[in-house]
Amino acid sequence: MERKKKVILSGMRPTGKLHLGHLTGALESWVALQGEFQNYHLIADYHALTTNPDSSFLYQNSIDMLIDWLAAGIDPKISPMFRQSQIKEHSELHLIFSMLITTARLERNPTLKEQVRDLAMESLVYGHLGYPVLQAADILLYKGEVVPVGEDQLPHIEITREISRRFNAQYPVRVPIFPEPEGRITKFARLTGLDGKRMSKSIGNTILLSDAPDAIMKKMKTAVTDPQKIRKGDPGHPDICLVFSYHTKFNPAEVEAIRADCQAGKLGCVDCKTRCAQRIIEALEPHREKRAYFESHMDEVHSILDNGEQRAKQKAAETMNEVHAAMNMG
């Protein structure tokens, strides 16, 4: 008998086309774990409304993101991909969970604290406070046991575990309904942006997975390097150089030679960047091709989403039946 696969639930807010940081921080691990686990992938469109209530681009952004997921190798036959907003059970479970966690606990959430700093207290909405509660519903609706995420999301996984324990204790049944999910961080979780700051689409310091080769070359030329290496002959410090960190990831075969030549003043930054850009262009070639395929087969993309949403709905309905029964509210 085949052992039942553990469930992975992971998701992203639909910000449109994805960048290299999404690939190394999340997508690669989703794809690597796809055979061993049962993956579910969520397009967190409701969560996106916390940063911007304007919903006019959400659908297009969701489709753009979905195409990048597919191009990166998420197989729609085995891993359902779906929009949070289309599965009404997310909202219902979020409401039930909101009774099981104190506001004091949510106020201590470090990501909320970051938002308070960035946004100013007056523009903080109720949805910000409840953000991790909705995320807990996302994960537990599918009984997610493993959640591959960036480090910044670990506090949300911790809140999810607390809510899961709280629900199971409050509404006991013979076999507890919810698992206690664990977060998994990938090795290259943090890829720094071309300007040395956190990689983020809104700052424009990214390489998009869909960028054409000449755009990648052009962007790489703007990357910051070791400030002490001004001329080619100056000895460089690879360990503090952003471009070197990209070589580590995208050019493992040459990385040690590059380190030595940079330190010896034999390799200039312009050449080093060109070589790095070439490797990234090569690495993204299959992605670009698959993307182009899906962009010219939009019917297929829509039916993939439709099918993912049907499968997610079925699983969500099953879990909610158990929830209603345990709560005696069936």
| Residues making contact with ligand TRP (CB under 6 A) | 9-13, 42, 44, 47, 135, 138-139, 147, 149, 153
Task: Indicate the residue among 152 and 322 with the shorter CB distance to ligand TRP.
Answer: 152
Task: Indicate the residue among 11 and 308 with the shorter CB distance to ligand TRP.
Answer: 11
Which residues, including other chains, have CB under 8 Å from residue 178's CB and lie 6 or more apart? 140, 143, 164, 167, 168
User: Whole-number minimum distance, CB 26 to ligand TRP, in Å?
Assistant: 8
Would you tell me the crossing angle of helices 154-170 and 126-141 to the nearest 10 degrees?
Answer: 70
Task: Indicate the residue among 43 and 241 with the shorter CB distance to ligand TRP.
Answer: 43
Q: Residue 189 burial by CB count (10 A; 0-12/13-18/19+): exposed, middle or buried? A: middle
Task: Indicate the residue among 90 and 291 with the shorter CB distance to ligand TRP.
Answer: 90
Beta bridge partners of 9: 40
User: Whole-number minimum distance, CB 299 to ligand TRP, in Å?
Assistant: 28
User: Whole-number minimum distance, CB 9 to ligand TRP, in Å?
Assistant: 6
When CB distances to ligand TRP are compared, the closest residue is 44
**How far from 295 is each of 83, 247, 298, 308, CA to CA, in Å?**
19, 30, 6, 18
Query: Tell me, what DSSP letter sits at residue 25?
Result: I
Phi/psi for 27 (5° steps) reads -55, -40
User: Whole-number minimum distance, CB 83 to ligand TRP, in Å?
Assistant: 12
User: Whole-number minimum distance, CB 12 to ligand TRP, in Å?
Assistant: 5
Which pair of structure tokens corresponds to residue 207?
């390489």
Task: Indicate the residue among 12 and 66 with the shorter CB distance to ligand TRP.
Answer: 12
Question: CB of 90 within 8 A of CB of 134?
Answer: yes
User: Whole-number minimum distance, CB 152 to ligand TRP, in Å?
Assistant: 8
User: Whole-number minimum distance, CB 139 to ligand TRP, in Å?
Assistant: 5
**How far from 310 is each of 8, 33, 289, 306, CA to CA, in Å?**
18, 23, 28, 6
Would you tell me the crossing angle of helices 242-250 and 269-295 to the nearest 10 degrees?
Answer: 50
Report the amino acid identity of residue 41: H
Report the amino acid identity of residue 305: L
Task: Indicate the residue among 182 and 234 with the shorter CB distance to ligand TRP.
Answer: 182
Task: Indicate the residue among 136 and 241 with the shorter CB distance to ligand TRP.
Answer: 136
Q: Residue 34 burial by CB count (10 A; 0-12/13-18/19+): exposed, middle or buried? A: middle
